[in-house]
Structure 1
């Protein structure tokens, strides 16, 4: 069946390629003086007004129209702002043609503006405007489907958007942020039929006063312009599904509603399903709780207090034994008047996840092999609530406020079996926590004059976390077959069978970041930026370990080494200066930041202080070859610090076989990072090239010092005397050939780092290089395809333990617009994995869906099936310094369901 499927999809691919043989019309567009016109629009229409092709002239005035049909008649329209539009009829095209045009002044400028606006692509300064209907074929369902049809735009599997190789940082709808600008929620939820135009905003800065002062050239946002019929009216869809899978009833209920007017926008998203479709993933959650609210330069120093992590599992959608998801979200924006805008969102998510994993691990130091079976259930309930306001009374002053509350209620139970050397141990683990984080920020920007600009950015975080851990485990067994205490007596537990060990933690954290900036604009090509600021952290950390004995009584481990009562303080005072100047095609920005650090911890009746200073330089050079082609070099030195848990000296449980203790002598890890990137997007032939190389060297890295006894690990942290190094390189080339977009890519990564095992330094070196190719079509009718192939080679050397692995991934997608009402879609993924240790892990997935949507009907019917091949488990292999492992985890069985959708 797999071979038949592959051959069928490849046949569709080859047939589409054969159909790609087409006619090309090219030429040159000049003005009345003979000067080439750059960015002129050339469009070819057929008699039925269908778009045959379009092009934009390059700096030499050249254009080309590809994908035109033989024996057809086209009307060519040439337009340029302020010049008279040209119409030229080309009849019965038989082969490639050359048509040159001369354009003259047009007194009716307004008509020219309207014509430019209706072009498939128009460029206005730093904004590229795509008319979505010029690129879509009507089979698109969400915004992500529309965006990936646009030249120079890509959407990855997670919903992240890239334009000309650069990641989009914000998505807006009619100028209003969609859920704080989150691109993933936007691409997966905004209906495709609501999208009128897509505006790509290059050199983006959220604050107009700061535009051009810093290095904004690679910052990109997207604004979605809705179709006229979608404004001042509610629109959306109601989706419901019922089916069967795994001998259970499967369901989905997914209403969505949107309202946009000049002053008010409302977005309501919901999704309740047990189809394994996560509406709100771990990556999305982290973006909402960890995003940077500032608009100015980073300080080069960072400390992560870990607040608001919530404990969510990082799962692939539809890749667990069972996933049940409940999701509801509201986002609203209200323009109170021309000066004040208020925004708010509320996101509620509950995910129940059941996993079943069988694994085999071999520990490098001891040579012990452990075989495990893990059956786990996790419930993640989260709530995110935000209220924000922007006050801009005039062009010279703006004030922003954001307040956000993050709540979580997370619990997990593991039924775990561990077998080693013929001895089987049953282990139950229970974990839970209910963290709460209040996160507020205030940003102020003031333009005193054309030469003097001020900014203040402040953020205050107040968080509380209370993780609880419980392990109920059988005693360990010594070489003589006798029961012994876990960790061979290290903990000093009372004898019991089983051992019931409990750990309580409470972490209370506050963090204040405050920064003031002043820019002195020297002239149109240079400015100097002065910065002063501080970062202050205060944390209280309490832990305790206790044992529940066989008779139900409680045994508290009162030894100081098994409890923590720590107050931790971190303070960073800094000042910085940056000078930006433009000379020719070069934009150069050197800078330096001086930091004064103080770290203080109070525990075990003693106070320990660390005071030190760092000078952190940074340097950026940008060489603009053309408006859409540039080379960027960046160097910066940064220092990263860790939080109270890693400074606390008392021992804690990480899991049933791992103990951990901190080190209050840790300093920050210093990282020197060099990067060189090249970006080139050619609108003339839709060629997109981006490549880059990055090298990092980290000194005083915070690394583990681990003592391993059998499968048990006791670890502490140190500032490593050895440097960690890494280097990465990538290259990607894509081009459109008529209706087909082809791309090739290559990636290389190398890293080396060190840990201490049983007192001996162990170096790990990893090298991975991968290569891929893809072909995607965008025909108006018939069959379309998306074919991707990637092969990755990995070599890891962990202290002399060498492993080589090869992974091949083949992804095939084909869809067929059968007629005006029927649409068929099929997706196939094949993964092939093998290692030098003769481990072969292969698995594949097949999904298919048949849609029926009668033209002009609000109802759509869908018959769908996931995991048609009924793949039972995924295989994974990891090669680490501590252990190498092979794991098999169960995935959801075949689901078949009928879905109905009604468009509001």
Structure 2
């Protein structure tokens, strides 16, 4: 884009801000005060809200801080009621008159609350309050945080303080990943919640509830020592007991389209949810499908969820840190139908089925400069990838309350897929085409029985079976492995047949007892895993392919029988909690291939010690130390090489090994959702006594990698996050800082042992306004610095800066203007790339119709360059991006 246009855009944006800010800040009235009790002590976390004198709606809201102070900024005249309430105190109502806005006014009301005794079951919570706190639950009123620009639930969650949604749709609460997202208390997708949050319309949500110390199993509530966090979405009352939904049809220039359909039906004994999505605008409507296998009713301690067959080959191109809407050329189709039905008062069944198909295209040009040990060289690659994916998934969950103290749970699912990947590339001027066909299949069966023996004691018996297989067939119409096969002078094609499979069975008995000051948990169980790999490398020409010698094939079985027991104890000493855990394992591991077999029968110990100290309700220090033992997986015990793509091969260590590591975690948190300020810092240290490093051979035409058993790798990181609401400018400030350091070793091209140090620094901040007027903004910047030290040194610095502007010009019209600037270091030419997105929405609320005009990539940035650094090479890559288009969307509710 010409510099003159960029300067014009910049001057327009900042000129607009200069005009708007004085209007916003001047046309407001500020209500301030201090809330105290009868002893003149401050009352923190009291609810302070403003209502019109003749209506029962909340128009402004605040929470008192630790000093009992509150502040409300309002921009409308009239007669209002100021409510001040807190649990255990009588509510105070003060009449407030705002007769003008210019000049700005400051109204001070200090309030003293009188104590009031009440039973907990007599407390009535105002459902219109933006924030309500009840023990381990924090409830947010959705409308208090929505500005009209939200399309799906994910857009709404990004605007709630304390909730963090990353670019892939993963959700964290105060830095902790959530377990699930429910609707009115019913779970649909377990950790595959992105299918819900990326498709459910945001306008149907009444409240967003955060559950701390969440227990999946209702009989284990107040019994198990849970640190899980979950979200619950409550629907608006007018959406219940009926069929409702919404649809969006969007068509744009250059044949771009985006269509959505949501149907939800609430019956007396059943709920039905249908989501449909068709788009070629880069949106992924499903998220990570692999996380859908969990049982939505189960107790959350499934035994074999981490058991799956590895992929031998995966033709996936590395992507830059860009939004999907810029780089994901796709053609997605998704349909999902789920239901929750009460068969009786004691039995509930949930079914989920979905089908998704997608065609992804990816384009890049790359130049790689190798400078590591050996001869320096440069490779160039012009690369185009097309991947067609189809996945069908069916899942059934059943829960039956056999009695008030006994619960039976079952979960079963089956997944069938097909993936066809084609790449067309020029490698150093040599045309090459790759084709990979992949047909994954999996079955998962889980059953659990819970008996609550006493109020504070429970026994859980569970079992699980998993079968997973991943057959792959690969062929490339080129042969670049001549140095590995000097006697083969006629080969023009490279191929590989590979298949991996896993069969796993696990059973476990778990005993929990919980007292006021202590918690015991005892486990005993058995895990059986059988992993298999069959792969063969073939070389030849168009007419025939022949298998090569045994160094390039595997006929491998890895069988493991693990008998284990564990004891965990937690003691509550008031502000201090301490816990300890010990695990004992007797493992019988056997590795078999077509040449020989070896047996390993280790007895080993793992343990954990942790503690937390609660300085106050908003200040907490936690620490934990872990001693872990990790067992070799299937690909790490291979003797023969495995082909990874047309010019790269790898193989494992060749025998079974156990790797030990020590892990230290220290975390300090301050503040909370209602304090106006949160601070979270964490330090992590990991020392691996044994680890698998790499012995690499890197040639211009090909590379090989073999695992080597090395000693003493260590890494540490420090993370800091803060969230602060600045009342003076009605804006929320977020800041973060991350530092990570890793020391490791490797071998390259018959070099000696090389010591590598990797450092990564990530820091940034953002400011989001919460004005009551017609304008809001969201501005921020994030920097990433990477450094590698070896015989030499490589560095890279990247940056993302954004400015989003929101306008509510008319009652039913909203405008959103998003501006992004990406900066990538180590580029010879222009290192900055600019993107602008425009959305204009008009809503006819009475009819349920809405119209949206979208302008994507208005600056028409068609390509982007970035660089990557390594300890043996650097690369410069040019990516093709989704071009500019304009789209009109029509949405309607019914």
Q: 1:283-328, CA deviations, whole angstroms, 9 ceiling, x for partnerless residues?
A: x223225899974679999776437999887865234473111111
Instruction: Tell me by how many angstroms 1:434 deviates.
Output: 0.2
Instruction: Tell me by how many angstroms 1:440 deviates.
Output: 1.6
Q: TM-score, normalised by structure 2?
A: 0.91
8 Å CA contact retained: 2:369, 2:378: yes
8 Å CA contact retained: 1:511, 1:537: yes
Instruction: Tell me by how many angstroms 1:632 deviates.
Output: 1.4
Secondary structure of 1:779's counterpart equals coil
Correspondence for 1:901: 891
Does the C-alpha gap of structure 1 residues 822 and 56 become closer, same or farther in structure 2, counting only changes over 3 Å? closer
Q: 1:239-284, CA deviations, whole angstroms, 9 ceiling, x for partnerless residues?
A: 1122223xxx222332111123453221111111222222224xx2
Correspondence for 1:860: 850
Specify which of 88, 91, 97 is matched with residue 108 of structure 2: 97
Q: Distance in 1 between matches of 2:245 and 2:369?
A: 53
2:273 equivalent to 1:267: yes
Matches within 5 A, 1:406-425: 406-419=415-428, 424-425=429-430
Correspondence for 1:6: 10
2:680 equivalent to 1:680: no
Instruction: Tell me by how many angstroms 1:819 deviates.
Output: 0.2
Correspondence for 2:742: 751
Does the C-alpha gap of structure 1 residues 591 and 459 become closer, same or farther in structure 2, counting only changes over 3 Å? same
Does the C-alpha gap of structure 1 residues 375 and 133 become closer, same or farther in structure 2, counting only changes over 3 Å? closer
Instruction: Tell me by how many angstroms 1:814 deviates.
Output: 1.1
Does the C-alpha gap of structure 1 residues 839 and 210 become closer, same or farther in structure 2, counting only changes over 3 Å? farther
Correspondence for 2:780: 788
Specify which of 331, 335, 341 is matched with residue 342 of structure 2: 335
Does the C-alpha gap of structure 1 residues 59 and 393 become closer, same or farther in structure 2, counting only changes over 3 Å? farther
Correspondence for 2:816: 825
Specify which of 423, 438, 447 is matched with residue 442 of structure 1: 447
Q: Distance in 2 between matches of 1:285 and 1:312?
A: 17
8 Å CA contact retained: 1:64, 1:684: no
Matches within 5 A, 1:175-190: 175-180=185-190, 182-190=192-200
Instruction: Tell me by how many angstroms 1:435 deviates.
Output: 1.0
Q: Distance in 2 between matches of 1:295 and 1:491?
A: 58
Does the C-alpha gap of structure 1 residues 838 and 250 become closer, same or farther in structure 2, counting only changes over 3 Å? closer
8 Å CA contact retained: 2:742, 2:758: yes
Specify which of 750, 769, 784 is matched with residue 777 of structure 1: 769
Secondary structure of 2:771's counterpart equals coil
Instruction: Tell me by how many angstroms 1:47 deviates.
Output: 4.5
8 Å CA contact retained: 1:302, 1:640: no
Correspondence for 1:172: 182
Correspondence for 1:481: none
Secondary structure of 1:817's counterpart equals strand
Matches within 5 A, 1:566-715: 566-682=556-672, 685-715=675-705
Q: Distance in 1 between matches of 2:454 and 2:137?
A: 27
Correspondence for 1:285: 289
Correspondence for 2:825: 834
Correspondence for 1:762: 754
Q: Distance in 1 between matches of 2:402 and 2:245?
A: 34
Q: 1:38-95, CA deviations, whole angstroms, 9 ceiling, x for partnerless residues?
A: 54422122457564432334566x2403213487643111234575432211234831
8 Å CA contact retained: 2:152, 2:199: yes
Correspondence for 1:358: 365
8 Å CA contact retained: 1:516, 1:532: yes
Q: Distance in 2 between matches of 1:654 and 1:461?
A: 26
Q: 1:661-718, CA deviations, whole angstroms, 9 ceiling, x for partnerless residues?
A: 2333241332211111122234554212111111111222122222223342122212
Q: Distance in 1 between matches of 2:292 and 2:386?
A: 25
Q: TM-score, normalised by structure 1?
A: 0.90
Does the C-alpha gap of structure 1 residues 809 and 107 become closer, same or farther in structure 2, counting only changes over 3 Å? closer
Instruction: Tell me by how many angstroms 1:548 deviates.
Output: 3.6
2:385 equivalent to 1:385: no
Q: Distance in 1 between matches of 2:559 and 2:33?
A: 68
Does the C-alpha gap of structure 1 residues 771 and 229 become closer, same or farther in structure 2, counting only changes over 3 Å? same
Correspondence for 1:742: 733
Does the C-alpha gap of structure 1 residues 20 and 685 become closer, same or farther in structure 2, counting only changes over 3 Å? farther
* Structure 2: tracts of 5 or more residues without a match: 100-104
Correspondence for 1:221: 230
Specify which of 858, 866, 871 is matched with residue 881 of structure 1: 871
Secondary structure of 2:238's counterpart equals helix
Correspondence for 1:211: 221
RMSD: 3.0
Q: Distance in 2 between matches of 1:291 and 1:448?
A: 24
Does the C-alpha gap of structure 1 residues 291 and 774 become closer, same or farther in structure 2, counting only changes over 3 Å? farther
With 703-712 and 647-656 compared, the bigger mean Cα shift is at 703-712
Secondary structure of 2:13's counterpart equals helix
8 Å CA contact retained: 2:678, 2:724: yes
Q: Distance in 1 between matches of 2:719 and 2:685?
A: 9
Q: Distance in 1 between matches of 2:486 and 2:555?
A: 18
Q: 1:530-582, CA deviations, whole angstroms, 9 ceiling, x for partnerless residues?
A: 211222211232222223435x134332x222322222212222211111110
Correspondence for 1:483: none
Aligned positions, number? 875
Does the C-alpha gap of structure 1 residues 277 and 654 become closer, same or farther in structure 2, counting only changes over 3 Å? same
2:244 equivalent to 1:238: no
Q: 1:451-505, CA deviations, whole angstroms, 9 ceiling, x for partnerless residues?
A: 542122322111121111111115x5xxxxxxxxx24143753514xx1121101
Instruction: Tell me by how many angstroms 1:33 deviates.
Output: 7.1
Secondary structure of 2:282's counterpart equals coil
Q: Distance in 2 between matches of 1:311 and 1:747?
A: 31
Specify which of 427, 452, 460 is matched with residue 455 of structure 1: 460
Instruction: Tell me by how many angstroms 1:525 deviates.
Output: 0.7
2:263 equivalent to 1:257: yes
8 Å CA contact retained: 1:597, 1:612: yes
8 Å CA contact retained: 2:723, 2:732: no
Instruction: Tell me by how many angstroms 1:732 deviates.
Output: 2.5
Q: Distance in 1 between matches of 2:276 and 2:32?
A: 49
Specify which of 511, 519, 524 is matched with residue 512 of structure 2: 519
8 Å CA contact retained: 1:342, 1:387: yes
Secondary structure of 2:708's counterpart equals strand
Does the C-alpha gap of structure 1 residues 537 and 330 become closer, same or farther in structure 2, counting only changes over 3 Å? same
Q: Distance in 2 between matches of 1:503 and 1:309?
A: 10
Q: Distance in 2 between matches of 1:845 and 1:385?
A: 40
Q: Distance in 2 between matches of 1:311 and 1:381?
A: 16
Specify which of 482, 488, 497 is matched with residue 493 of structure 1: 488
8 Å CA contact retained: 2:31, 2:73: no
* Structure 1: tracts of 5 or more residues without a match: 477-485
Secondary structure of 1:349's counterpart equals strand
8 Å CA contact retained: 2:89, 2:116: yes
Q: 1:414-460, CA deviations, whole angstroms, 9 ceiling, x for partnerless residues?
A: 112111xxxx3222211111010111222222221245421223221
Q: Distance in 2 between matches of 1:618 and 1:298?
A: 20
With 125-134 and 486-495 compared, the bigger mean Cα shift is at 486-495
Does the C-alpha gap of structure 1 residues 810 and 290 become closer, same or farther in structure 2, counting only changes over 3 Å? farther
